[in-house]
Amino acid sequence: MLSLSSLILTLGAAGALAAPAPGQAPAPHWPQPDPLQGMWRNPTGSVTIRIDACGPKLCGWVATASAEAIDDAKAGGTDHLIGTRLFENYARDAANNWTGEAFVPDIGKRFASHIMLIDHNHARVAGCLLGVFLCQSQVWTRL
């Protein structure tokens, strides 16, 4: 039978074996989510999207939309705005930057796009006509 002091020594030795070596960071238990993943709202509050993985890249789907945004999308040829993929094929190309494609439902067109994470709660989303030229941007807010 183990005494209390033997049990404490045994548990301490087991813990020491499981601990990383000094100066070595512990391995993560699961992949960390991309910092862009989550729920985001456009500046006017008319659309909320959910950004999540789609294969090895990121995409963003409309989660909620105002009646006006839904009507504008229908006028542009998008009959069902909720669930529409607005952001597609975004890949990280720098520490806080991603490039991909943005769909603008009220005109029914896709544009080259880039997203820059300003801070944890704000991202600048730009749609461009010519790669990174002739861009229009908005600051979206994390929910």
Q: What does the pLDDT look like over 71-126, one tens digit per residue? A: 999 999 999 999 999 999 999 999 899 999 999 999 999 999 999 999 999 999 99
Query: In terms of DSSP H, where are the helices of 57-141?
Result: 67-75
Closest by alpha carbon to 116, among 107, 108, 125? 125
Closest by alpha carbon to 86, among 47, 134, 136, 35? 47
* DSSP H or E segment with residue 33: none
Query: d(Cα 31, Cα 96) in Å, to the nearest integer?
Result: 18
Using an 8 Å Cβ cutoff, are 143 and 39 in contact?
yes
Q: What pLDDT score was predicted for residue 142? A: 98
Q: What percent of the chain has pLDDT over 90?
A: 70
Mean pLDDT of 17-45: 71
Confidence of residue 27 (pLDDT cuts 50, 70, 90): low
Query: d(Cα 112, Cα 103) in Å, to the nearest integer?
Result: 9
